[in-house]
Structure 1
Amino acid sequence: MNRFWAAVTVSEFGTQVTTLAMPLFVLVTLNGSATDVGLLNAARWAPYLLCGLLAGALIDRWRRLPVLVTADLGRALLLGTAALFVRDLTLLLVIMFLVGLLSLGHDIASQSFLPRLVDRSRLPQANARLAQTGSAAAATGPLVGGGLVGALGAPLSIVLDAVSYLVCGLLLATLKTAEPPAPAKRGTIREGLAWVYGHPMLRPLALNTHAWMIFSAAAGAVYVPFALRVLGLSPFELGATLAAAGVGGVLGGAVSTTVAERLGLGRSAVTARFLPIVAFGLIAVSDGWVMAAAGQFLFWFGISVESPSTIAFRQAVTPDRLQGRMNATIRSLNWGMVTIGAPLGGLLADTAGHRVALGVATAGFALTAVTFACSRFRFASVHGGLPVAAQ
């Protein structure tokens, strides 16, 4: 687990630099617009919508560690090429689609590999540890990224992410975890869909999160152009607001397991879904980096309270032979919603204004929070260290 965690840590820190640098690369280096940033996000996440279900079925037939290594090395090559040689938006979108395709395989394999790496009773703690790592990277990566973009420019900052993927892939290649052989009977995509959308708890969790992701993607696509062009923040100030998001994520991950055990997993997840309403409400009316930072803090605190427990719940109630398809079904459609929300958010910002776009996203967060609170998932709970579905 420690070597796996180290590999994830290196990759997460590099990714957070690119999270800031890539939109700036489009806006500054390519002289793009908010719509272009939305298209960039859509290209990055389109493979989840187009190929996610197939990827899940394939990963359930393969050993998962080689998939992780291949995806990291491939992303290193693609991002390095984009940063150093690409100055055309169309070509950049093609490369980001390929990066997204490799990320799809990596994400599904990673979440499906974890139950083979640790006992199921330790899944909530393991997921919380990984979430805290991601949040710590989010707390420092954008801040460092803002300084790097200011000092080196966006292209060279992206190269650092490429190097982080290379290091991650090499670390994972040294793991000696034994994996069972592929099942003799090959599972189908339909079986994975039936498991997720036929399960009394996974169904409301998946459907509500799909809808939530549309509004999150819209808000995410608008935020960087809003910060730069409406609030007038410098790259370093923008990085500071995103660093506040990381601090919120670290704190949320730190209390996630405790909150789920005391409130009940379902109630803690429902409560966390209400925080984005306040978060992006603050951002929409902000006039400087302080309120924007506060909004980012609350947004990621809520995500990090909910995410480790709900991911552990999914892993714990799903048989090993269905892990890839379960994760692919939920994640591919979740992130596939970015292909809808991100372009719509960017287009709305360019036509009606950035604050209007953020207000619409905030209203969407309210709608999904209320419907989630009314769903059966609010009865999900944790017993004996394992998430279980209430009958």
Structure 2
Amino acid sequence: MTEVALPRPATGVTRPAAGVMSDPGSSGRFGEYGGRYVPESLIPACAELEEAFRDAWADPRFRRDLDRLLAVHAGRPTALTPAWRLSEELGINLLLKREDLAHTGSHKINNVLGQALLAKRMGKTRLLAETGAGQHGVATATAAALLGLDATVFMGEVDIERQALNVFRMKMLGAEVIPVTSGTRTLKDSTSEALRHWVTCVDEAHYCLGSVMGPHPYPWMVRELQRVVGDEARRQCAAELSTGTPDYVVACIGGGSNAAGTFAGFADTGAQLVGVEAEGGAAVAFGQVGVLHGFRSYLLQDENGQVTEAHSIAAGLDYPGIGPEHAHLRDTGRARYVTVGDAEVIPALQRLARTEGILCALESAHAIAWVIRAAESGELPPWSTVLVTLSGRGDKDMATLMEAS
């Protein structure tokens, strides 16, 4: 793998002033993390994508087209829901940013609609994607059907079995789902297979990566496409709260796209940013710096530097690394990262369901579990305001929950 820093495309876009969660520039680095570690054959494709995204992101017509799709197709803005009963039980003011209400059932549609529009603009005819929990795969299949593109989704055999409903949804939408039988047969290996396949078809296909990971420009581009979550939540909090902003902003993290999008809306405020990792996939808590899937960040590794397997009850958090911008936010102290074990997740999901009538995804339940723990232990000050992004709904997890009951 080779990292090459290419000259910045001359699109007329000026780089924002240096600051938290700003443009990483042509190097694609957030401090010491990120970059572009890919085979020579993918360097031109990554460079083409960066140039195309910068050009599109500076084009008011592209932004208007995306905003319209997010409104009329994805259902934005999503609601900011006060969790009244659970707030009373915990002695805090808990607000839920409801990405579970977005079309396809998660935040993934925000990123995918942007990348699919970009692919059409670039003259591509096919979308490639990896998926773990299946939500990104469903969103990719949805956007491809909407815009007349073909879709190929790589999914590990383990995830295919535990997320059978989403596999069927993808196929109903016209996508080809390719089982990945190598390695752990989960998200890490699905990403590897998707990258390998992209090498063979870069002229016709766009790799629609689903999180803030991968080679530059993906971590930055996906964060910008998910920024709509944080920007909306900030406006909604300003209207809801006398203080204008919450005391804490909390989101679950695998690769970290819903958290990055949420944090981007509050990075320049006094809100404390908290990312919640699955204990069995906690790259920040237990990882070391290394390179995987084209980027440098914290990864779970053994004593020989080999990437090790992640374990989580939530397929979407079953990834052994974390997006490079999150690694930088951790090192600079702007955000902190905590862990939640599988044993805490289902009780948290059930408690939210039985107090608020909301069945969230197992991924999102990690964030709820940490809030419950922190409130009941006194870590959260009484009646502090806590915003949690519910990244997805729990329909896909019913089989897992039934088995665990």
**Coarse TM-score class (shorter-chain normalised):** under 0.3
> Which is richer in helix?
1
Higher relative contact order (CA 8 A, sep 6+): 1
TM-score, normalized by length of structure 2?
A: 0.26
TM-score under structure 1 length normalisation? 0.26
